[in-house]
Homo-oligomer: A and B are copies of this chain.
Amino acid sequence: MDSWLPISAKSHFSLANIPFGIISTSAASQPRVAVAIGDYALDLDCLARHQGFSQCTALEQAHLDIFSDASLNRFASLGRALHRDVRQYIQSLLRVDTPFPALLRDNSELRNKALILSQQITNHLPMTIGDYTDFFAGRNHAQTVGALFRGPDNALNPNYNHLPVAYHGRASSVVVSGTPLHRPKGQVMPPGAPAPVFKPCSRLDIELELGMFIARPNELGQPIAVDDADDYIFGYVLMNDWSARDIQAWEYVPLGPFNAKNFGTTISPWVVLADATEPFKTTGLPNDTNLQQYLKESNKENIVDFNLEVALCTEDGDSTVITRTSSKNLLWSWPQMIAHHTISGCNLRTGDLLGSGTISGLEERTQGSLLEQTRGGKSPIKLHGGHERIFVNDNDTIVMTGYAGTTKSGLVGFGECRGKILPCV
């Protein structure tokens, strides 16, 4: 599938992708809906205002104002079938053999208005997030971190292979890629000290995760069956669940992490729709546990195979890839996470964000957190330019990237999830 628009084979935003996001520009500061394509954002609000959707039978004219919204929530709530149709329609407009050449390809005035170079756009949070739930589905991460804290024989807690462990995260501080965050301060208990001290976090870590947005709600008291759960998935982003390990170690007993995580979570700006990832579904980590019925899936290939990478960029411009891994390192699928989240009767809402948990391999430089890579902060990792790191320094920038597919068929990727740590306020 080729486009009349020149798209580099290395672009994450091939014609096979068409991820949705919220943009603004200096010329038009009102946030609105767009899709990413090659080096451009295609402004769907502009397209809709200029009859670009006139041949899109799926989308009634009454719905076209969804593209002037400042979030994707209304679009998401219209359901998987509509997302599929609208994405295919946009692909049809951009195909070299588009059936509707007059609408965009041969309409230079609209092309100039609606196709905006990505350098000229500002990305905003794609969704208004209701609740944010973070799972712990990366078993290698759980295993390695558990071994650091409790020894290899007790690394995984007894519940781990029976249910997708999760906790409620902080929604207010989820920020879009490019938003800098200040290093948090907090209480820390130094080893052997008689009392805690108050200081800037000195073990500031990253967590490489996938994020998933919920499309449609369920009623309170009505669990979602695991085989129906795919219908509730809008799409995916990359996520950096920043973690203050020293604050976490002191505060987390008995109710879990709180201030160690709530100072910020960074997500990539473009939501890769669930339909775009269908060709890349595979199996995750094996689980030989006899699962409860509500977690048993008919479809055994329910993990999307994303190649993931983390780079650390120092203040003086040296960039080093510190992690290369794959989302196949997840034990639980999104449908299993949804089924478990709602089995109590808990209701999900359009725009809720679910995190996968840290995605790690077991080998060196495949691990999604520095805690794992530095063996609990004991072995520094070496970076280009002669730098070393145990945890994140002030003015370091973390760039996460990820994609599925091949350059031949077109990459289906996220672009960047980028965040810089500024010194304490």
Tell me the A residues contacting B by CB distance below 8 Å: 130-131, 136, 157-159, 162-163, 165-173, 175, 181-182, 184-187, 189, 195-196, 198, 220-223, 244, 247, 250-260, 262-264, 290, 292-294, 340-341, 343-349, 352, 425
Known pairs A172-B130, A344-B186; A198 contacts B259 (CB<8 A): no
Q: Please name the residue on chain B nearest to A180 by beta carbon.
A: B221
6 contacts between A and B (CB under 8 A): A136-B255, A168-B168, A181-B345, A198-B292, A255-B257, A259-B344
Given the known A-B contacts A171-B131, A187-B162, A253-B159, are A345 and B263 also in contact in the complex, defined by CB atoms under 8 Å?
yes
Closest chain-B Cβ to A136's Cβ sits at a distance in Å of 6
Given A167-B167, A187-B162, A254-B157: A221 and B181 interface contact (C-beta under 8 Å): yes
* Chain B residue nearest in CB terms to A425: B221
Report yes or no: B258 in contact with A168, Cβ–Cβ below 8 A.
yes
Q: How far is the CB of A151 from chain B (nearest CB, A)?
A: 14
Given A198-B292, A251-B159, A255-B165, the answer on whether A172 and B262 have CB atoms closer than 8 Å is no
User: Cβ of A346 and Cβ of B425 under 8 Å apart?
Assistant: no
Q: Give the chain B neighbours of A260 by CB distance below 8 A.
A: 344
A222: chain B residues at CB < 8 Å are 425
Residues of B within 8 A of A185 (CB): 223, 343-345
Tell whether, in the assembled complex, residue A172 and residue B349 are in contact, meaning their CB atoms are under 8 Å apart: yes
Inter-chain CA distance A194–B224, complex, in Å, is 27
CB distance from A325 to the nearest CB of B (A): 22
Known: A163-B251, A220-B173, A257-B255. A290 touches B195 (CB 8 A): yes
Minimum-distance CB pairs A-B, first 9: A256-B256, A167-B255, A259-B344, A184-B344, A168-B168, A262-B346, A263-B344, A263-B345, A182-B221
Minimum CB–CB distance from A129 to chain B (whole Å) comes to: 9
Chain B residues whose C-beta falls within 8 Å of the C-beta of A254 in the assembled complex:
157, 165, 252, 256
Nearest B residue to A171 via CB reads B131
Contact A187 B258 (CB under 8 A): no
Q: Report the nearest B residue to A218, measured CB to CB.
A: B172
Q: Is the CB–CB distance between B340 and A259 below 8 Å?
A: yes
Give the CA-CA distance A186 to B343 in the complex, in Å. Answer: 6
Q: Which residue of chain B has the shortest Cβ distance to A219 in the bound complex?
A: B425
Q: How many whole Å from A146's CB to the nearest CB in chain B?
A: 8
Please give, as numbers and ranges, the residues of chain B lying within 8 Å of A292 by CB-CB distance: 187, 196, 198
Of the candidates B189, B259, B348, which one forms a contact with A158 in the assembled complex, judged by CB atoms under 8 Å apart? B189
